[in-house]
Structure 1
Amino acid sequence: MLVGRPRRRVGGVLVSGLVLVLATAAVPARATAPDTGPDAGPAAPATAPPLPLERLFDNRGVSDDAHPRGADFDDRGNSLSARDLTAAGWTPGRSLALDGARLRWPRTRAGKPDNVRANGQSVRVSGRGDALSFLVAATGRETRGDGTVHYADGTRSAYTLAAPDWRTGPLATKAVALPHINSPEGQRAEQARLYALTVPVARGRTIVSVTLPKDPGRSADLHVFALAVRSPASGWTGSWSAGTSGRQPVGPWTDRTLRLVVHTSASGPRVRVRLANTFASTPIAVGHASVAVQASGAGAADPPRKLAFGGKPGTRIPAGAQAFSDPLDFSVPADANLLVSLHLPGRVTALPVHARAYQRSYVSGEGSGDRTGDRGGARYTGTLTTWPLLTGVDVGGGPGSVVALGDSITDGDKSTVDGNRRWPDVLARRLRGQSAVPRYGVLNHGISANRVVGDRYPGDGVSTEIGGVSAQHRLERDVLAQTSVRTLVVLEGINDVRSGTSADAVIAGLRSLAERARGRGLRVVAATVLPCGGNSGCTPRAEEWRREINAFIRGADGGVFHAVLDFDAVIRDPRRPDRMLPAYDSGDHLHPGDAGLRAMADSIALRKLVG
């Protein structure tokens, strides 16, 4: 939406009328003529040399709350609140870890240019990675545009960037939501959204520049605040992980320490942990952290080892962002329980959590302070059945990881609590006990009550809902951004059909998941949906849809999916194929018990997991 704007700032220089991208700070390059269509804006020059993104900033998106007229993000006088950004921890120049990428919030003060409206500008970017990450928002409406990645060897690749609208886009995929919008008339209680989006790049090639999409037209703009190459997690394998299902009320807790029990799938000589403040509106402070091998309960086999974050004992994680601990020389055994302890020094009333851990963890008493160094568990007087904040444990070396994306059947509902008998646990043991295929780590991203399409948790706010955002909306965070992921295994759909979602909608969702994952170079394996006859939600219509979905999955072997796991054939009763075999049924006719979960994992031909 560039036509008719009298003044704009590009590369630090105010110009009138058309947008001129500058070859240097002082000498403008020649602009090409604009298209003649009614929504066309002037095209950016094709020959302009790349500039750092901040040299191209031409829009003021953030205003001082005392001077809201100092910015105009959407050409209607509205803007982002500087006070809200500060309250979220998004301060000028702050480095933000978002879905595995490091993006820097603009260093500029409120009321100064802090973003560029995409119109074919050439941006200087360097590095190798598995994706490009953009921090963006659209104004006017959702926008979509095509750009180009340029490599040092002279080759290039195309990408498509679709940016949601800053006022109406989905909360489920936002990086952060701010509670207010500044306007010329004052501040309004209306949420503003910012999004971290990634696009694929050619792995192994060095990126030298990126051409942004063209102006989307008179009615909208695509604003870019930051851009970076997402570096691959070289030298690391994911050993444990869990998806964030929502932001839930806790405590309140004041000055307590969490001791979280997690089960490793891969071993290694080094360790790092990942914390995530997903779905949050405010930062969270972690005073100290440690790691140890569990002896029993909250007790450690040896004195816990201190973790650091950028050389400091703790960290403050902005809303929506992540924090990785520094690498620590620490021998992590496979198929063992680790204790990851996190001291929360402030008062905490809500946290991002994985709601159903099926594993007991521990919390120290109110006001007990930093207990991360305790070897014994006496001060951990409370128990937890969730995993707050902690979303990953990586180990040094290894061949990479398999991600199991699913619902409660993958999460481990009705498996033995503390027994680590979920089907991904059994798969991990099988992989470790052989040498025919790589001994991948296995990352369990099952979320109980989750669906392929349709969010259970809205993606913002404090809620007791456990089902998370849809598989569609969590694919980037829970699969594509996972450490050294090689293969995706999808087992989802039963909650969709039980809630009235048609087979066609689920099939479209599974197809989309596969296409997006394959586009990032992953091997995609789909599992057939298990029968649930006898469960109250499994109506004849749901059973009909389940069979249609399974027919699609089986028919897509080698097409949409690289391979298929027929869990339905393993679990169903041959005499009553709409039901599980009684020996595998946990008793609720929806979830397999330990024996059924083991049978599912034992049925997997391991070579299907590798290309």
Structure 2
Amino acid sequence: MRTRLRTTAAATGLAVLFSGLPALSAASSAAPAAPGAYAAPADERPLPLERHYDNRAVSDEGRPDRADFDGAGNSLTSADLDAAGWRPGTRLRLDAAELRRPDRAPGRPDNVLSDGQHIELGGNGNGDGDGGNGGDGNSNNTGDALSFLVAATAPDRPGSAVTGTGTVHYADGGRAPYTLTAHDWRAGPLTTKALALPRINTPSGVRAESARLYAATVPVDRGRRIASITLPKDPGPAADLHVFDVAVRSGSPGWTGSWAASTGGYTEVGPWRDRTLRLVVRTSGGGESARVRLANTFAGKPLDIGRVTVAVQDEDAATTAEPLAVTFGGRQAHRVPAGAEAVSDPLRMQVPADTTLLVSMYLPGTVTAAPIHAQAIQRSYASADGAGDLTGRRDGRGYEPELAFWPFLTGIDVSGGPGSVVALGDSITDGVTSTEGANRRWPDVLSRRLLEERGSSDVPAYGVLNHGISANRVASDRYDGDGSDPDTAGVSIQNRLERDVFAQTGARTLVVFAGINDIRWGADSEEVLTGLRAVADRARARGLRVIAATLTPCEGYHDCSPEVEAKRTHINDQLRGGRSGFDAVLDFDAVVRDPARPARMLPKYDSGDHLHPGDEGLRALADSVDLRTLVPRSR
């Protein structure tokens, strides 16, 4: 049922009302839209999204009659949005794009029922520094993707996703279709939601039932300026596609990802009260400036940061020089809304390649749960509760080496550089069983190889971003994506692809090394191959070079049965046979298997548990990579 407000003008009426206003750029009809895509009439001027708002999604608890999000009188509760840090007008960094909660009071129109409206893009949607997400500077509407803040409503079909096709209008006169999918606000997947709220407002009062909002991202031609877009047409009487905001994701030109870690879950910590964390990370590429990336992924409430500093490590928690404070939108203190991210303003600091940094974070309040990367294979530091802000301390006094995981910190970017290689995988990529603190994961070794051969080959010294999560799977989730849970093995590779690959700074090439956990836990080999092919298809649509690695042997591990071995062999045969959709294949299986017993790892490469390679095995994997394989063909 359509829940459009009669008092809000339709797009054509608004076009007449505001016909005296200059358009950002007139949509050209030089190239026809693809079949199925809706293109706005040639004489219809684009208008900002808020001029088209025709639905009320948010109401106060005592006034549920002021909004009707889904046509059945239900709506989002303003108090829960505010408690999550999503106040009206709040800038929200989601999957590296800058979106906003509409700056509208409860009971006011705050979203668009998608029906072919012609939308002018504001030109300031990504990282202009306002609101603590500086650095990207996307003032000309060029980037790698369009990002939408959306949800679907379908009262008679709860859980149904709504999909439609719209049109991108480029400033050079060209057009291209895009496909936008919005998940249901009450029963859509939690694993890919931007935010989940604990209650909904109904005509009879507040009900304890989850509500969800989503960030949906679609690829566009990288670097080609977008003048406007046309939203998909009305999907029909049974469902609606609601759009709260839209922006062009810049893709962070001029930056390279140097270090990264995936968020595997949201779990109880501490509680930490008025304390400082000093996190230890190892760079890959270097640069003359740095940015710090934080995330409050999967959280239900905002994170308050008092101060963040960066310094090169001397010994233990001590630094080689005075730690430098980073800012977010010009301020040291920053609040990260639930489910959102933050990227600091550029920090003028010479960041050496292959160097250990200490990123210190002061938490002024009480933290009882945090998004974490569980297997840091690195010991980081924390102060005692009540110690206050120790972020500027150079000598390391007041810190103890008590953290074996990374909370909140998800990336370090450096200025310049050729871009990054993303290593996506499970515990073998994560470095489980490698020597703690020695940085001997196979992506670490690969990074050092790229640096060592810099200048002696035509392969750039890419940054290498390790997005392995221990126990992670290709096709199924370990963590359901919402609430505190001791399981930190993450949502599936397919469900974290946007956040951990496409949104990564300077991503150029993706290496996928995963699937052994799926088949160990009962998945069919074809299910894994289908998932891997889907990853390859989606990554190629984003312009990435996509490489797969064969699965390494595990005979001798407690659940690596003959059935698992048969599945592993089938997957590897399909990958080697070129029937997987990848641009290249790294034969990691051939590198570490015992020729006399191919189902088992060579003893010299085995960590001892028969599943995970040890330091020498991880080095052998990295050393086997022909570095030229990593270079995109378009370079």
Task: Say whether the fold is shared (TM-score over 0.5).
Answer: yes
Q: Secondary structure at the match of 2:620?
A: helix
Q: Secondary structure at the match of 1:158?
A: strand
What are the superposed Cα offsets for residues 395-442 of structure 1, whole Å, 9 maximum, x if unpaired? 111000000000000000000000000000000000001132010000
Residue identity in the other structure for 1:61: A
What are the superposed Cα offsets for residues 333-375 of structure 1, whole Å, 9 maximum, x if unpaired? 1111100000000011001110110000000011000000001
- Per the alignment, residue 503 of structure 1 pairs with 525
How far off its partner does 1:43 sit? 11
Residue identity in the other structure for 2:14: L
**Residues 138 and 179 of structure 1: CA distance in aligned 2, closer, same or farther (over 3 Å):** same
Q: Equivalent of 1:102, from 98, 117, 121?
A: 98
- Per the alignment, residue 560 of structure 1 pairs with 581
Is the 8 Å Cα contact of residues 584 and 594 (structure 1) preserved in structure 2?
yes
**Residues 24 and 93 of structure 1: CA distance in aligned 2, closer, same or farther (over 3 Å):** farther
What are the superposed Cα offsets for residues 273-296 of structure 1, whole Å, 9 maximum, x if unpaired? 000000000000000110011111
Q: Equivalent of 2:149, from 118, 130, 135?
A: 135
- Per the alignment, residue 535 of structure 1 pairs with 557
How far apart, in 1, do the equivalents of 2:14 and 2:405 lie? 53
Q: Secondary structure at the match of 1:255?
A: strand
How far apart, in 2, do the equivalents of 1:485 and 1:533 lie? 35
RMSD (Å) for aligned C-alpha atoms:
1.6
- Per the alignment, residue 354 of structure 2 pairs with 335
How far apart, in 2, do the equivalents of 1:403 and 1:282 lie? 29
Q: Equivalent of 1:8, from 1, 6, 10?
A: 6
How far apart, in 1, do the equivalents of 2:607 and 2:114 lie? 54
How far off its partner does 1:234 sit? 1.3
How far apart, in 2, do the equivalents of 1:292 and 1:43 lie? 51
- Per the alignment, residue 597 of structure 1 pairs with 618
Q: Equivalent of 2:445, from 426, 438, 443?
A: 426
What are the superposed Cα offsets for residues 70-100 of structure 1, whole Å, 9 maximum, x if unpaired? 1000000000010000000111111111111
TM-score, with normalisation over the residues of structure 1? 0.94
Structure 2 unaligned residues grouped into runs of 5+: 21-37, 124-140, 155-159
Q: Equivalent of 1:23, from 1, 12, 15?
A: 15
- 1:583 matched to 2:571: no
How far apart, in 2, do the equivalents of 1:44 and 1:181 lie? 35
- Per the alignment, residue 224 of structure 1 pairs with 243
Q: Equivalent of 1:191, from 210, 214, 230?
A: 210
How far apart, in 1, do the equivalents of 2:542 and 2:142 lie? 14
Residue identity in the other structure for 1:185: S
Q: Equivalent of 1:62, from 55, 58, 62?
A: 58
Residue identity in the other structure for 2:69: F
How far off its partner does 1:381 sit? 2.6
- Per the alignment, residue 447 of structure 1 pairs with 469
How far apart, in 2, do the equivalents of 1:21 and 1:551 lie? 60
How far off its partner does 1:377 sit? 1.6
- Per the alignment, residue 73 of structure 2 pairs with 77
How far apart, in 1, do the equivalents of 2:266 and 2:144 lie? 29
Is the 8 Å Cα contact of residues 21 and 45 (structure 1) preserved in structure 2?
no
Is the 8 Å Cα contact of residues 528 and 568 (structure 1) preserved in structure 2?
yes
How far off its partner does 1:232 sit? 2.1
How far off its partner does 1:265 sit? 0.5
Is the 8 Å Cα contact of residues 69 and 184 (structure 1) preserved in structure 2?
yes
How far apart, in 1, do the equivalents of 2:492 and 2:91 lie? 28
How far off its partner does 1:20 sit? 5.1
How far off its partner does 1:301 sit? 1.3
- Per the alignment, residue 366 of structure 2 pairs with 347
**Residues 471 and 6 of structure 1: CA distance in aligned 2, closer, same or farther (over 3 Å):** closer
Residue identity in the other structure for 1:262: V
Is the 8 Å Cα contact of residues 351 and 414 (structure 2) preserved in structure 1?
yes
Residue identity in the other structure for 1:151: Y
What are the superposed Cα offsets for residues 80-129 of structure 1, whole Å, 9 maximum, x if unpaired? 01000000011111111111111111011100110001111111114101
Q: Secondary structure at the match of 1:96?
A: strand
How far off its partner does 1:8 sit? 2.9
How far apart, in 2, do the equivalents of 1:165 and 1:575 lie? 53
Q: Equivalent of 2:283, from 264, 284, 288?
A: 264
Q: Equivalent of 1:362, from 375, 381, 384?
A: 381
What are the superposed Cα offsets for residues 487-525 of structure 1, whole Å, 9 maximum, x if unpaired? 000000000000001111100100000100100000001
What are the superposed Cα offsets for residues 180-205 of structure 1, whole Å, 9 maximum, x if unpaired? 01000001100100000110111121
- 1:118 matched to 2:114: yes
How far apart, in 2, do the equivalents of 1:65 and 1:71 lie? 11
What are the superposed Cα offsets for residues 455-474 of structure 1, whole Å, 9 maximum, x if unpaired? 10110101110200000000
How far apart, in 1, do the equivalents of 2:528 and 2:235 lie? 31
How far off its partner does 1:44 sit? 7.7
- Per the alignment, residue 253 of structure 1 pairs with 272
Identity of aligned residues (%): 61
How far apart, in 2, do the equivalents of 1:379 and 1:138 lie? 50
Is the 8 Å Cα contact of residues 246 and 279 (structure 1) preserved in structure 2?
yes
How far apart, in 1, do the equivalents of 2:17 and 2:441 lie? 59
How far apart, in 2, do the equivalents of 1:24 and 1:496 lie? 56
- Per the alignment, residue 33 of structure 1 pairs with none
- Per the alignment, residue 550 of structure 1 pairs with 572
How far apart, in 1, do the equivalents of 2:61 and 2:226 lie? 39
- 1:299 matched to 2:318: yes
- 1:482 matched to 2:541: no
- 1:275 matched to 2:305: no
Is the 8 Å Cα contact of residues 4 and 113 (structure 2) preserved in structure 1?
no
Is the 8 Å Cα contact of residues 428 and 441 (structure 1) preserved in structure 2?
yes
How far off its partner does 1:544 sit? 1.0
Q: Secondary structure at the match of 1:23?
A: helix
Residue identity in the other structure for 2:147: S
Residue identity in the other structure for 2:610: H
Number of equivalent positions: 589
How far apart, in 1, do the equivalents of 2:204 and 2:428 lie? 52
How far apart, in 1, do the equivalents of 2:318 and 2:606 lie? 35
How far off its partner does 1:22 sit? 2.7
How far off its partner does 1:575 sit? 1.0
Is the 8 Å Cα contact of residues 9 and 113 (structure 1) preserved in structure 2?
no
Q: Equivalent of 1:463, from 485, 489, 492?
A: 485
Structure 1 unaligned residues grouped into runs of 5+: 29-41
Q: Secondary structure at the match of 1:24?
A: helix
Q: Secondary structure at the match of 1:238?
A: strand
How far apart, in 2, do the equivalents of 1:280 and 1:47 lie? 45
- 1:377 matched to 2:391: no
- Per the alignment, residue 571 of structure 1 pairs with 592
How far apart, in 1, do the equivalents of 2:486 and 2:302 lie? 20
How far off its partner does 1:48 sit? 2.5
How far apart, in 2, do the equivalents of 1:103 and 1:217 lie? 27
How far apart, in 2, do the equivalents of 1:49 and 1:6 lie? 21
- Per the alignment, residue 93 of structure 1 pairs with 89
Q: Secondary structure at the match of 1:138?
A: strand
How far off its partner does 1:479 sit? 0.3
What are the superposed Cα offsets for residues 283-318 of structure 1, whole Å, 9 maximum, x if unpaired? 000001100111111111111111111111121000
Is the 8 Å Cα contact of residues 573 and 579 (structure 1) preserved in structure 2?
yes
1:512-527 map, 5 Å = 512-527=534-549
Is the 8 Å Cα contact of residues 166 and 194 (structure 1) preserved in structure 2?
yes
How far off its partner does 1:578 sit? 0.8
